Amino acid sequence: MLLGTLLVVGASAATPIIDTAPYTTLTKTCPNGKLYHVAAPNSAPLDVVHVFGSAYDRGVAQGCLMSSTILDFIDNYLPAYYRSEVYSIPVSTLPQWLQDVIVPLLPYAADKAPEVFDLALSYVEETQRPFNEAGANKLYDEMNGIAEGTCAQAVAHGRRCNATELAYTIKKTNMLPDLIRMQCSMLGAWGGASAGGSLVQLRSLDAGSLGVNHSYLVVQHPEGDSRPFASLSFPGFVGVVTGFSPAVALSEKVNDVAGGPKPAGSYEGRSTSFVIRDMVELSATKEAAHAIALGASRTWGVWLGVGDFASQRMLVIEYSQAAAPATDEHSTPKLTGQPMIDSVVYVDKHPQPSTGDLSMPTALQALRATPGSIDSAAVAALGDQTHSGDVHIAVYDFNPDAPRVLLALGTVDVNGTYSGPGGRYAWAAPYLRFDQKALWAEPKP
């Protein structure tokens, strides 16, 4: 057995879980920032970025530490991603005048995909800007800082870089989660279902190839007495799709409706990934996170799962433009069409109500039959049975004495596929285990 590696036997395969400490190296520092590199055996490498100070300071630090990754993502990865995903743009949700511009370009998608995405993302960014700029966490300051830190490093190494242009590109790129919808899954288990009674929570991200091979963990240490928080994210992103703090953790999936129309929505509001960031960064409890969702200018329908240390429970929010009601293990099944499991709340990756694929409830019922058997290792092993989580997976362990987070990363090959040499879905990958207390206690450089 490899040093630091635990093999956990699931229903159909062993799931490696690797403690990251023996494989972590400090590789770079900048004012207000530190960069660690995790190179664990048989796992995709992962950069861990710690940034400190004001929103702008943290942005500059992230740009300084990750300049080459950010520019590679924008200049090389995104054009290829746009070509592969151009037909995934929900064109019908855009205004008619923009549809009239985009539709004639679609037959030439191989060449025009970046232009199509730029048109759509520009519209979304400009429409949402008043709502996004109004947030207390100054995300536009942070994005401007990322651009300036990135360009400062690029210019120092002889590369041309315009910070104003890059900042606008970053702002548009941050709109991708509102434009391209994600099929994902989530669960929370506690009480008699979980080991020791504490909450264990799953967030699986099924999003095609968005950000694959470019993911990194950003640990934010805001100035003053603000609570630190972290997100498993993509270069230049300040919104959160997968995030946690010493108080709460978030799960998310798009709210597709089986056999019916999606919930009504519009782009007139705050970007959903920015609302999720608000919930992670500013909430002390799941109730406080729910209040943020209720008070937000909401855009499109998603499911949100919020767990907290205070209650050791998770609630599910059916978030939409019209409303954001919270549900529990008793009321969620009425919406999902799947079996109720005591002390377990879950939503699988399919459109809801989901009655065709019972792989998730079947696996959970088998675990629940033995009291206290749903721990972080058992949740990590679920991916092999549900095949949910292509881009990445997070398992949050809310043990108050030893809080941990497990992260699994998907990888794609040179052709952008998970199935070729060098490619692997996150659900088939080893998990990297981080000590949350150590993440929050990282000293400023």
Strand-pair category, 24-30 with 14-19: unpaired
In degrees and rounded to multiples of 5, residue 149 shows phi and psi of -65, -40
Query: Are 230 and 219 a contacting pair, CB within 8 Å?
Result: yes
Average pLDDT rounded to a whole number, residues 247-252: 97
Alpha carbon separation from 236 to 58, 144, 216, 316, 355 (Å, rounded): 12, 10, 10, 28, 38
pLDDT tier at 29, thresholds 50, 70, 90 = very high
Given a contact cutoff of 8 angstroms between Cβ atoms, the answer to whether 66 and 145 are in contact is no
Tens digit of pLDDT for each residue in 172-227? 999 999 998 777 999 999 999 999 999 999 999 998 888 889 999 999 999 988 89
Tell me whether residue 218 is in a domain.
Answer: yes
Strand partners, 250: 243, 306
Question: Measuring CA to CA, which residue among 102, 154, 173, 129 is closest to residue 270?
Answer: 129
CB 59 within 8 A of CB 143: yes
| Confidence tier at 14 by pLDDT (50, 70, 90) | low
Angle separating helix axes 272-282 and 286-295, nearest 10 degrees: 150
Report the chain's mean pLDDT, rounded to a whole number: 93
What's the domain range around 395? Answer: 182-233+240-263+286-440
**Confidence at residue 11, expressed as pLDDT on a 0 to 100 scale:** 35
Distance CA 412, CA 424 (A): 6
Tokens (6 digits) for 96: 């008619």
Q: Is residue 13 scored above 50 in pLDDT?
A: no
Q: Give yes or no for residue 327 having a pLDDT over 60.
A: yes
- In this prediction, residues 351-370 reach a mean pLDDT of 94
* Paired tokens of 120: 């759509």
Interval 430-444 mean pLDDT:
97
The 3-class secondary structure across 33-84, one letter per residue, is EEEEEECCCCCCCEEEEEEEECHHHHHHHHHHHHHHHHHHHHHHHHHHHHHH
Query: What mean pLDDT do residues 143-154 have?
Result: 98
Q: How many CA atoms lie within 13 A of 281 on its CB side?
A: 24
Q: Determine, yes or no, domain membership for 310.
A: yes
What's residue 310's pLDDT?
A: 98
Which percentage of the chain shows pLDDT scores above 70?
97
The answer to whether residue 195 sits within a structural domain is yes
Which among 391, 364, 377, 376 is positioned nearest to 13, based on CA atoms?
A: 377
23 part of a folded domain: no
The domain that holds 380 is classified in CATH as 3.60.60.10
Closest CA to 374 of 210, 223, 153, 188: 188
Q: How many domains does the chain have?
A: 1
Are the C-beta atoms of 14 and 430 separated by less than 8 Å? no
The rounded distance, in Å, linking the Cα atoms of 215 and 234 is 5
Report the predicted TM-score, pTM, of the whole model to 2 decimal places: 0.94
Q: What contacts 54, CB < 8 A, 6 or more positions away?
A: 138, 141, 222, 223
Asked if residue 303 belongs to a domain, the reply is yes
Does 109 map to a domain?
Answer: no
- Is 341 within 8 Å of 321 (Cβ atoms)? no
Taking CB atoms within 8 Å and a gap of at least 24, the contacts of 335-344 are 339/365, 341/193, 341/365, 341/368, 342/192, 342/193, 342/368, 343/189, 343/190, 343/191, 343/192, 343/193, 343/194, 343/368, 344/187, 344/188, 344/189, 344/193, 344/368, 344/374
Q: Give domain status of residue 144, yes or no.
A: no
Residue 420: inside a domain, yes or no?
yes
Would you place residue 414 in the very low, low, confident or very high pLDDT band (cuts 50, 70, 90)? confident
Q: Which amino acid is at 53?
A: G
243: pLDDT strictly greater than 80: yes
